[in-house]
Copies of this chain bind each other. A is one copy, B any other.
């Protein structure tokens, strides 16, 4: 996807002025509430009309005030997934699902309902009334509905933020596989750093209607480590769980982690806050923390007075966060060896 944006729009007291060239399949949009993210995607999709400027998608002009081009939303073939599922309450789940597909010309029908119903496991939901669907089921239908309209670009406006944590991470794999399997590029809006890291390859940061930063999810997470409640969130892909005296032993690359039992799946994604890792210079003997890992410091970075310590654990990577005085006391430096203690209950299974 190549998206050229150069637009201006004033809405009451708010004004958006944004110029950028985006390429890549998975772009995140990050920004505070009221920074103009929703306004931006409404402008892109044709639901709002820029005051001036132009929008080009893969070379095709969607809007240009100079040339007098302004394609209507249905001509742009850009689908939006909203924060609320926005299912049509008068239609069944099936009719909602097929709403966009039915309006798609034969030539564009690359994705068929069958394949998506399979992928999203929608079969049991199809006959249901919309109001008999749970929040997560609704959002799954909404997503499938958008994809089935065979758009050239998918815009997602905090599609997960109305859901509870469990649902949220159940849906993320769907979101990603959609883009991968059907080659639909997307723009993904979120306030959640974890969602951003799972969903985006590059991130633009918007503030007060202006683009202030272009970065990667990793860069974003590191720079905001000290600010956010959970610090830097390590994402760990674990596999092959085995019960072990009331806990579960998961394989993490060539390491084993003991984690409090939750759902057992062959592979799972866990979140671990950089603040839940305690570092020792020497091996502590008896300790209540169930995980004690020997690791090497790969690099260190500063974020607002906190120190981020990037650790290598048998080839896997982990970021721990310590205060400056602790860094001095432990004598942490690139290359030094440390022990990291992590409680079994510190891991949070996602999805």
Contact = CB atoms under 8 A, between A and B. Distances in A.
A205 to B, nearest CB: 23
A174 B282 CA distance: 48
Contacts of A285: 280-282, 284
A307 to B, nearest CB: 10
A278 B288 contact: yes
Contact of A279 (B287, B322, B329): B287
Contacts of A280: 284-288
Among all A-B residue pairs, the 5 with the closest Cβ atoms = A281-B286, A284-B284, A279-B288, A275-B345, A245-B325
Contacts of A235: none
A47 interface: no
A302 to B, nearest CB: 12
A341 interface: yes
Interface in A113-142: none
A305 interface: yes
A305 B243 CA distance: 14
27 contacts: A245-B323, A245-B324, A246-B324, A246-B325, A260-B323, A275-B343, A275-B346, A278-B287, A278-B289, A278-B343, A280-B284, A280-B285, A280-B287, A281-B285, A282-B284, A286-B331, A287-B326, A287-B330, A288-B322, A288-B326, A288-B327, A288-B330, A289-B326, A290-B323, A290-B325, A321-B345, A323-B345
A247 interface: yes
A243 to B, nearest CB: 12
B325 A247 contact: yes
Contact of A323 (B246, B281, B346): B246
Nearest to A283: B284
A226 to B, nearest CB: 9
A64 B331 CA distance: 74
A320 interface: yes
Given A305-B246, A341-B278, A326 B290 contact: yes
Interface string A261-298: 00000000000000111111110111111100000000
Interface string A326-343: 110111000000000101
